[in-house]
Structure 1
Amino acid sequence: MDAEAAKLASAIGARVRQERLTRGWTLDQLAGAASVSRRMVVSVEQGAVNPSVGTLLRLSDALGVGLPALVAPPEPRAVMITRCGDGAQLWTGDAGGRGVLVAGTTPPDVVELWDWSLGPGEGHVSEAHAVGTQELVHVLTGRISVEVDGQGIDLDTGDAVAFPGDVDHAYVNSHGEPARFSLAVFEPGVGGASTHPTKTHKDA
């Protein structure tokens, strides 16, 4: 884990621990609510791991704070600016691809704005998010395919697509050139059922 990744992991861990203690939850309660292992919760809180996007989504949904809140500065501001290069890099691919969360809103209706790049042959698979989630993809450079619940949609530079995020989906670059796209994710009602540590809808 490089210095930037370690710094981000530490900040995420501190926020997860803060939110857990605010709710009076034990490690086991958060693990059960998020459908992750107790060991993973401990590792995340200690900043000892660079958790996957899926793990972060489970934790943020269980805590009812939304993914952007886990990677944002602890003190909320009316206007939050993310300078170029300061976004939270939450996914990396073997061919140089990156998934960077650059902006987001607070619950209950959370909107995430991502800057994604996929190297040749790379793809990112996501299981269904919470019911009602919607996603928007706009291809900035290159070509990608978006697979939604078994349906493949080919997109060229400048193309865009809107689709439900509460079904299995994936972003794939099967071409020989890198691709970059902007992704917006809308997840309504985050935290509405998070008063007690119960099973969440999201398993992504």
Structure 2
Amino acid sequence: MSNIVDPLVGQIAARVRTERERRQWTLARLAEISGVSQAMISRIERGESSPTAVVLGKLSAAFQLSVSSLMALAEGTPSGQAETGVRRRADTAEWRDPATGYRRRQITGPRFPAEIAEVLLPPGARVPYPAAAFAFVRQTVWVLDGHLTFHEGDTVHALGAGDTIELGEPVPCTFVNDSNSECRYAVVLVRGERP
């Protein structure tokens, strides 16, 4: 597909560093809260390493942001592109998880009231997220093509094309493609109220 990874590595690096500094956290503090090593966070912030989806899940949970929110903030609006109106596929960057090949692109712009992302999950891929990655958001997953096995805590949902699931209370979730073909799904979320 289109523009893969390199521009986003720097944007993700800047966003992680900005979120950490905004909270006045040291690298050690973020490592303690997220469970990601200080060395890995440092490499991510310097743009030397592209984080995996699992690492992004842990970092976003520490920041009390969804992965989608963290990625949307990192992607922002490409230079010269309007924040509203037409967004061309060719102008939308795609992020690839270096561990699983999971691919993700933001569909909506930063000012749209809901965040929508398209995800392509390769055969055999398994992407777990901690419960905290789902805190303070309302989220729906809509399978567009293929088959998704979705683990919501201890409950397993087998979803096919056209199926949706609206997530409940935050629990650890795992997106699994145990089929022989790619699964394409959309994630739609809105921020909820903080307690």
TM-score (ref. length: structure 2): 0.71
Query: In the TM superposition, what is the alpha-carbon distance from 1:19 to its structure 2 partner?
Result: 4.1
Q: What is the CA–CA distance in structure 1 between the aligned matches of 2:104 and 2:148, rounded to whole Å? A: 14
Look up the SS of the partner of 2:107 in the other structure: strand
Look up the SS of the partner of 2:15 in the other structure: helix
CA change 1:163–1:22 in 2 (3 A) is closer
Aligned to 1:89, which of 95, 104, 123? 95
For structure 2, the residue ranges without an aligned partner over 5 or more in a row are none
Q: What is the CA–CA distance in structure 2 between the aligned matches of 1:177 and 1:5, rounded to whole Å? A: 23
CA change 1:169–1:18 in 2 (3 A) is closer
8 Å CA contact 2:140–2:165 kept in 1: the answer is yes
Matched, 1:5 2:5: yes
Look up the SS of the partner of 1:43 in the other structure: helix
Q: What is the CA–CA distance in structure 1 between the aligned matches of 2:107 and 2:88, rounded to whole Å? A: 9
Aligned to 2:184, which of 180, 183, 189? 180
CA change 1:78–1:146 in 2 (3 A) is same
Query: In the TM superposition, what is the alpha-carbon distance from 1:90 to its structure 2 partner?
Result: 4.5
% identical aligned pairs: 25
CA change 1:72–1:59 in 2 (3 A) is farther
Q: What is the CA–CA distance in structure 2 between the aligned matches of 1:183 and 1:73, rounded to whole Å? A: 19
Q: How does 1:98-177 map to 2 (within 5 A)?
A: 98-103=103-108, 105=110, 111-128=114-131, 129-164=133-168, 166-177=170-181
Moved more, 160-169 or 78-87: 78-87
Moved more, 128-137 or 17-26: 17-26
Q: What is the CA–CA distance in structure 1 between the aligned matches of 2:129 and 2:53, rounded to whole Å? A: 9
Q: What is the CA–CA distance in structure 2 between the aligned matches of 1:111 and 1:101, rounded to whole Å? A: 11
Match of 2:42 in 1: 42
8 Å CA contact 1:132–1:165 kept in 2: the answer is no
Match of 2:84 in 1: 79
Q: CA RMSD in A?
A: 3.6
Aligned residues: 186
Structure holding more helix per residue: 2
8 Å CA contact 1:142–1:179 kept in 2: the answer is yes
